[in-house]
Copies of this chain bind each other. A is one copy, B any other.
Amino acid sequence: MTPDLSVALGRLRLRNPVMVAAGTFGYGLDYRDLVDLTQLGAIVTKSLTLAPRMGNPPPRVAETPAGMLNAIGLQNDGVEAFILETLPRLREYGTPIVASVAGETIEEYVQVAMKLSRAEGVAALELNLSCPNQARGGMEYGVHPELTAQVVAAVRQATDLPLIAKLSPNVGDITPIAQAAVQAGADILCLINTVLGVAVDARTRQFRLASKVGGLSGPAVKPIALYHLWRVRQSLPETPLIGVGGISSVDDALEFILLGAHAVQIGTANYVQPTLAQEVAQGLAAYLQENGIDSVTAIRGTVR
């Protein structure tokens, strides 16, 4: 018997729990020649802003031990280009499309969310709460419970789509923020976004990123992502969670699921192995089969 990989995150139903993470799979079509898009649980787009954004000056990326720093600066063609040019072709694959929503102001989040909600073929919205808040000197929205609640509540008003709040790990205690997001109307929580980090080039004696600070991702952050997931799982046992951070194998995905994630996202590892997400989905099925387990939900949260 083929094990059942389907999962329901509230109203968001996926054929398997393996998604690709925002900003690591382009707008969704870029890898269509290498990846079978129909095998993915869901595709999260690069974060979309109201107007096109040029992004940060280079260098924007630096490799670090088992990880990387990025400061792309939300370069994107804007939400309208996505809706007009990408969405019609992407939705033909039938794979749920999760649009990542970004903004520098709450109003911008709301505007982007409204446009995406009116478009055909968006399965859910994911709020990127790691955007720099202009009103507070560039601090991430997602590091404050109240700011998080404000963004989520405002977008909740503007859309009927399932709403995912993607949390920042750059906090002492993530649970009040998770709770604030859920109370403000988030249906699903996704965690983690990148961890703040710095790298210096000892030879040129300069920051490795033009923006100095960047976001750390990749295998290096996996223990941190699991830690935050586990804390949120305990504090909000009923909320569907999406685990992300450093996943690059079937075992990595299982770690998150065993700790209570309904689904997982693969980010940085797509760069190294574009086919990874579909292979992880297949590998999960194989794992369940070998262990005589008939559905992925049966092992969810069994490590406590």
Q: List chain A positions with a Cβ less than 8 A from chain B.
A: 64-67, 69, 143, 170-172, 195-200, 202-203, 205-207, 212-214, 216, 218-224, 226-227, 229-230, 246, 250-252, 254-255, 258-259, 287, 299, 302-303
**Does A197 contact B226, Cβ atoms closer than 8 Å?**
yes
Q: Which residues of B contact A221 (CB under 8 A)?
A: 220
Instruction: Given A172-B172, A223-B216, answer yes or no on A200-B258 (Cβ-Cβ < 8 Å).
Output: yes
Q: How far is the CB of A215 from chain B (nearest CB, A)?
A: 9
Q: How far is the CA of A202 from the CA of B224 in the complex (A)?
A: 17
The residue in A220, A254, A302 that gathers the most chain B C-beta atoms within 10 A of its C-beta is: A220
Q: Can you report 17 A-B residue pairs in the complex whose CB atoms are below 8 A from each other?
A: A64-B219, A64-B220, A65-B66, A65-B218, A66-B66, A66-B67, A143-B172, A170-B172, A172-B172, A197-B224, A197-B227, A198-B230, A200-B254, A202-B251, A202-B254, A202-B258, A205-B299
Instruction: Given A202-B251, A255-B199, answer yes or no on A67-B170 (Cβ-Cβ < 8 Å).
Output: no
Q: How far is the CA of A251 from the CA of B200 in the complex (A)?
A: 9
Q: How far is the CA of A113 from the CA of B65 in the complex (A)?
A: 37
**Does B205 contact A216, Cβ atoms closer than 8 Å?**
no
Contacting A223 at CB < 8 Å: which of B69, B202, B226, B299? B69
Q: Which residues of B contact A258 (CB under 8 A)?
A: 200, 202, 205
Beta-carbon nearest neighbor of A143 in chain B: B172
Q: How far is the CA of A143 from the CA of B205 in the complex (A)?
A: 32
Q: How far is the CB of A204 from chain B (nearest CB, A)?
A: 10
6 other A-B residue contacts (CB within 8 Å) besides A66-B66, A202-B287: A64-B223, A65-B220, A197-B223, A199-B255, A200-B255, A200-B258
**Does B172 contact A205, Cβ atoms closer than 8 Å?**
no
Q: How far is the CA of A223 from the CA of B200 in the complex (A)?
A: 9
Q: Which residues of B contact A224 (CB under 8 A)?
A: 195-197, 216
Q: Which residues of B contact A170 (CB under 8 A)?
A: 172
Beta-carbon nearest neighbor of A252 in chain B: B202
Instruction: Given A197-B223, A223-B199, answer yes or no on A246-B65 (Cβ-Cβ < 8 Å).
Output: yes
Beta-carbon nearest neighbor of A218 in chain B: B65
The residue in A200, A246, A250, A302 that gathers the most chain B C-beta atoms within 10 A of its C-beta is: A200
Beta-carbon nearest neighbor of A174 in chain B: B172
Contacting A213 at CB < 8 Å: which of B65, B171, B213, B227? B227
**Does A227 contact B202, Cβ atoms closer than 8 Å?**
no
Q: Which residues of B contact A287 (CB under 8 A)?
A: 202
Q: How far is the CA of A198 from the CA of B234 in the complex (A)?
A: 14
Instruction: Given A67-B66, A172-B170, answer yes or no on A303-B200 (Cβ-Cβ < 8 Å).
Output: yes
